Structure 1
């Protein structure tokens, strides 16, 4: 029996385009994903956003610090006579300001490359992490202080002592300093290929041993301490505050409800997307979620965009916790009057008086103090 010989015509009839596409697909499964598109997007997006957030955060938080300093100098009794909310707002403004000062450095990095050396790379990375954690925890402290002042107004007098608040702030700074130690230990300046035949120096965290375990662990700590725990504290405190105001007047209740919803909503809107992408990235690294290079690019770009949204919270804090307060606007007007004189401020003074009559006409000053979150509560 003759052996079966292959049909040479059919054997050589190959679609080479399809074969090449098949080989590229198979190679892409084992080859590392290219990062050129991500770096190109970051170089167009990050410098603009970081610069804008830096300007807004510096202007807003410097005004808050100036008003708090002016108001503090006008009071008597020393540091422990300063109100609790003012104490937390002071540390919050300092934290947001320090965080904002690191943004121009990273804006320069993405616009060009890192040109500030290894020492400043580690310091700026540590400041970035330190103030991101501390800012969110100070927001939780403000929520807890409002909870004690409104829900437990009678029994919490000895707890709501400014010296106790200073101790709490010191503990928060120390805890966040420990958390930022990862940045000091692992931040490095490395050359990264950002395009064909092109590389740039970037200041990033590089884990030399067990990188997956380190990245996932840091992500989980960030999600728990930087979002989950503060959110639970804020939700619990503000729900209890709203329940305690159920017997208040209708106008007072509406104002308190709007303020509570705005505080929690802005916090969630700013930080929830970033933490969701952090979780997805952790699951992707652990292999719990499968995805190709396109999915990985979506996660990386989403993390970059949502991180900038979260950072914008440091520019929104002065609006939420400062400018909504009647007393803050009054002190700001007085400060401007002292700097610029009487000319041009008569109209502002008349508007301020009309605004005060509208806001204080329906409920007493004690009620206003307990339902507004401002620099001077």
Structure 2
């Protein structure tokens, strides 16, 4: 009885050491489950081939439309960035667009296998991870900016010009840190063939006794990509909620509703994925999943959780931009002017740009905590 169990544990441990399930859950067959005790992963690959491509294309199309609209509004309608929030939201839209552009390649990887060379595999993996981190960090910056604009109103007004410079500096730091955190993707991304002759782009870590590299990479992703941003967001929005509750405004319930939606969507989309990454890190440190069926269920759950995390890229424009009163007004004016000019047979950039008041307060330019 001990020999089959030992063989199974060795097989599962070897599988998780060689294939990174944090970004590309189980693609390869390790052989038939019976009678050798090896775990057959064909069910995981078949599920992934049916599930990921259509969902990734839906996320790509919806996210591209929303984020392109944001970029177009900021670069065409408003012409220049006036506040910290403008800078963060434009960078967030660019990061989400670059991230979404990688999804068609992952959809094709799931359905047909990897059809490009290894250098392009590294590039796609690295660019996708850079924008995954930068998007999360920019959401954190937005929460800090809202905290300053609402809780520290006096300081926000006194440092208005410097804050715009600080926001650009913060974006530079965000992109730099994201590139550093994405280095493992450039280093460990490989094209690996399976037993059916197809190749897949995945992460393959160097073999080492205790999987220290994989544990370190997963720990950084969990801490920097979820835990730290969540703590900052919870702190900032908690203080904002307390401030709004003390304010005498009949519309503060709308602001509270938006805050709860923003935090709830972030937690619901990112918590399942990062929870599975914690399990995977524990698996890398000490093999905890020794049952083949459990390993398969874990891989399938990872596919679903990963896809759920990706939906945040197409939700960001609606959560952080389109809920803003000022942005909604710009969008409605632009649509009305476009429709009006099309009916009269003429359309120009000057006619599309809505007229705006010359002076606006910081709270008005903050995207808003209202629906």
TM-score, structure 1 normalization: 0.80
The residue that corresponds to 2:33 in the other structure is none
The residue that corresponds to 1:356 in the other structure is none
Establish whether residue 64 from structure 1 lines up as the match of residue 70 from structure 2: yes
The residue that corresponds to 1:133 in the other structure is 133
In structure 2, relative to structure 1, the CA distance for the partners of 1:63 and 1:207 (3 Å cut) is: same
1:184-199 superposed matches below 5 A: 184-193=186-195, 198-199=196-197
The residue that corresponds to 2:364 in the other structure is 369
Larger Rg: 1 or 2?
A: 1
In structure 2, relative to structure 1, the CA distance for the partners of 1:224 and 1:204 (3 Å cut) is: same
The residue that corresponds to 1:234 in the other structure is 233
The CA deviation at 1:330 is 1.8
The CA deviation at 1:190 is 1.3
The residue that corresponds to 2:21 in the other structure is none
Deviates more, 1:164-173 or 1:108-117: 108-117
| C-alpha contact 1:149 1:370 (8 A) present in aligned 2 | no
The residue that corresponds to 2:304 in the other structure is 305
Aligned counterpart for 1:49 among listed residues 23, 48, 55: 55
| C-alpha contact 1:67 1:335 (8 A) present in aligned 2 | no
Q: Give the 3-state SS of the residue equivalent to 1:190 in structure 2.
A: strand
Establish whether residue 216 from structure 1 lines up as the match of residue 219 from structure 2: no
Alpha-carbon separation, structure 2, partners of 1:371 and 1:105: 36
| C-alpha contact 2:256 2:369 (8 A) present in aligned 1 | no
Q: Deviations over 1:141-172 (max 9, x none)?
A: 00000000111111233276211100110011
Q: Give the 3-state SS of the residue equivalent to 2:155 in structure 1.
A: coil
Q: Give the 3-state SS of the residue equivalent to 2:197 in structure 1.
A: strand
Establish whether residue 117 from structure 1 lines up as the match of residue 124 from structure 2: no
In structure 2, relative to structure 1, the CA distance for the partners of 1:201 and 1:335 (3 Å cut) is: same
Alpha-carbon separation, structure 2, partners of 1:182 and 1:192: 23
Alpha-carbon separation, structure 1, partners of 2:363 and 2:181: 38
Alpha-carbon separation, structure 2, partners of 1:317 and 1:272: 17
Deviates more, 1:113-122 or 1:330-339: 330-339
Ranges in structure 1 where 5+ consecutive residues have no aligned partner: 1-18, 346-364
How many residues of Structure 1 are paired with residues of Structure 2 in the alignment? Answer: 326
Q: Give the 3-state SS of the residue equivalent to 1:245 in structure 2.
A: helix
Q: Deviations over 1:164-206 (max 9, x none)?
A: 100110011011111111111111111023xxxx231111111
Alpha-carbon separation, structure 1, partners of 2:122 and 2:225: 20
1:1-377 superposed matches below 5 A: 28-31=8-11, 32-73=38-79, 82-156=82-156, 157-158=158-159, 161-193=163-195, 198-210=196-208, 212-249=211-248, 251-287=250-286, 289-342=288-341, 369=364, 372-373=367-368
The residue that corresponds to 1:349 in the other structure is none
Q: Deviations over 1:246-272 (max 9, x none)?
A: 222353221111011001000000000
The CA deviation at 1:366 is 5.8
In structure 2, relative to structure 1, the CA distance for the partners of 1:118 and 1:26 (3 Å cut) is: closer
Q: Give the 3-state SS of the residue equivalent to 2:66 in structure 1.
A: helix
Alpha-carbon separation, structure 1, partners of 2:51 and 2:334: 37
In structure 2, relative to structure 1, the CA distance for the partners of 1:372 and 1:172 (3 Å cut) is: closer
Q: Give the 3-state SS of the residue equivalent to 1:199 in structure 2.
A: coil
| C-alpha contact 1:53 1:312 (8 A) present in aligned 2 | yes
In structure 2, relative to structure 1, the CA distance for the partners of 1:128 and 1:371 (3 Å cut) is: closer
Structure showing greater relative contact order (alpha-carbon pairs closer than 8 Å, 6 or more residues apart): 2
Report the RMSD for the aligned CA atoms in angstroms. Answer: 2.6
Alpha-carbon separation, structure 1, partners of 2:335 and 2:191: 44
| C-alpha contact 1:284 1:291 (8 A) present in aligned 2 | no
The CA deviation at 1:285 is 2.3
Q: Deviations over 1:308-334 (max 9, x none)?
A: 100000000000011112221221123
Q: Give the 3-state SS of the residue equivalent to 1:251 in structure 2.
A: coil
